[in-house]
Structure 1
Amino acid sequence: MRVLVAGATGVIGRSLVPLLGAVGHEVVGLSRSVAGAEQVCRVGAAAVVADALDAEAVARAVREAAPDAVVNMLTAIPEEINPRKLAEQFALTNRLRVEGTRNLIEAARAVGGARIISQGLAYGYQPDAGAADEDAPLWHSRTPKQFVSVLAALTELERATVAADGVVLRFGHLYGPGSIYAADGSFARQVRAGKVPLVGGGHAVFSFTHADDAASAVVAALDRTEVSGALNIVDDSPAALREWLPRYAEILGAPAPKSAPAALARLAVGGWGVAFMNELRGADNARARLRLNWRPRFTSWAEGFVTELDADRAAAA
């Protein structure tokens, strides 16, 4: 199958492009810069250059690539996120998720209706008890104001993808090379500096996804052409912040996180920062296991963090 990957140089794309080639797909990476295209070519794929927000450029690139499938991993997430400025920092990503997705779908339709696979999020569910399946409502009630525009863009991405009979892979908190949780990532730096406390008891539940597992889910979705709709692509072990953050700090050799009351933390990180640390709901991956026959390599964040951070330390030695 000939596969166009939009966002080929991102955290997932860097795992996905070589994996697609290894299992026999012809891969074309879409990049908005020549430097990005060169990066794609260095791992053995072809490349086309286009700004995803330029509909005419995307149409030309898709015609040139002539794909059987389009994998939409478009984001422009900053290396370090300020939760008080989430809406501002995600403005470009929101446009990519709405306008970029529309441009890719319209271009794919014009060349014969290539299969669409898009990147969603598995931590936008309405806070509640237990791990959310895909039928659980998204966070449309009492949504932190900084997250409203982000969720609106994700909702439109999902609507457009599903309307095109595509698949939305709702990834959890991504870790692996190039992510904020990598040894050289922004979150790791903040934890080492003692700047990530357990807010309000640390009740937020996180479902993690290693970049390699995200990539293998895309491959599985390409193989299962009959599958459409949204699927949670997360590990088997949702964990509260109070459980995983101290272990993450320990693996990094960082100081144990301190506790902070939610009211005080709100002054520093705003409503979204408090919600992120104290209200998020984890996700269930049973439907993806059944419909895609997909299994995460890292079934638990604990195993994945140890493996990934040990590899980072070995590479730095």
Structure 2
Amino acid sequence: MRIFVAGASGVLGSHLVPLLVAAGHSVAGMTRTPSKADSLRAVGAEPVVCDVFDADALTEAVVSFRPDTVLHELTDLPDDRQLLPQAAEANSRIRREGTRNLLDAARAASAGRFLAQSVAWTLPGDGGAAVADLESAVLAAGGVVLRYGQFYGDGTFYPHTPPAPPRVHVADAARRTVAALHAPSGVITIVDETDPT
């Protein structure tokens, strides 16, 4: 399968892309940071340096790769979780405008499948509204919404001690994302099996 991964150099993407390559998929890994292209190439992905908010360049990149599947794993989060409140507006923009641009690019490329990262907990205010907008757009397009618990493990806000539920180890989240590639349109919740549901 040809898979275009938006957010390939992020916390989840850096675990996910090597798994996809190891499973025999041809992967284009999108990052907005040019310095991360070499690390994507090193794990066997074709690096694509592009900003999701540049709709024309994004569409050109996705169409050029001719993916069967587009995986939306983009977020706009700070390295320090204490700064999350200040990042809320940027992350909401990713969920709205970024999702819309990726869906449009996937349609232009005739990609048959679209999966997108969401969250397994309720966000207050506009953050929650942006999550609802993302999920509505993805489901209306026949895609799959992946509701992840809070990530923990290397590279996350919780490298040593897991947060309160809902949560999921980032490596497990990546494995379960690969397993969801062929899921029918709908919502999949990806949390630790020990979490209360």
**Shorter-chain TM-score: what band?**
over 0.9
Instruction: Name the structure 2 match of 1:215.
Output: 174
TM-score normalised according to structure 1 size: 0.59
State the aligned residue count.
196
Instruction: Name the structure 1 match of 2:76.
Output: 76
Of 156, 174, 190, the match for 1:179: 156
**8 Å CA contact retained: 2:31, 2:50:** yes
RMSD: 1.8
Structure having the larger proportion of residues in helix:
1
1:196-275 equivalences in 2 (<5 Å)? 206-224=165-183, 227-238=184-195
Instruction: State the one-letter code of the partner of 2:100.
Output: R
Instruction: State the one-letter code of the partner of 2:38.
Output: E
Instruction: Name the structure 1 match of 2:12.
Output: 12
1:20 match: secondary structure: helix
Instruction: State the one-letter code of the partner of 1:90.
Output: A
CA distance in 2, matches of 1:114, 1:56: 20
Instruction: State the one-letter code of the partner of 1:166.
Output: G
Structure 2 unmatched runs, 5+: none
**8 Å CA contact retained: 2:67, 2:111:** no
CA distance in 2, matches of 1:13, 1:92: 19
Structure having the larger proportion of residues in strand:
2
- Structure 1 runs (4+) deviating above 6 angstroms are none
CA distance in 1, matches of 2:81, 2:164: 19
1:120 match: secondary structure: strand
CA distance in 1, matches of 2:38, 2:57: 18
Question: Percent identity at matched positions?
Answer: 42
Instruction: Name the structure 1 match of 2:38.
Output: 38
Instruction: State the one-letter code of the partner of 2:188.
Output: L
1:97 match: secondary structure: helix
Structure 1 unmatched runs, 5+: 125-138, 140-146, 189-203, 239-281, 285-317
Question: Which one has the largest radius of gyration?
Answer: 1
Find out whether 1:100 has 2:57 as its counterpart: no
Instruction: State the one-letter code of the partner of 2:194.
Output: S
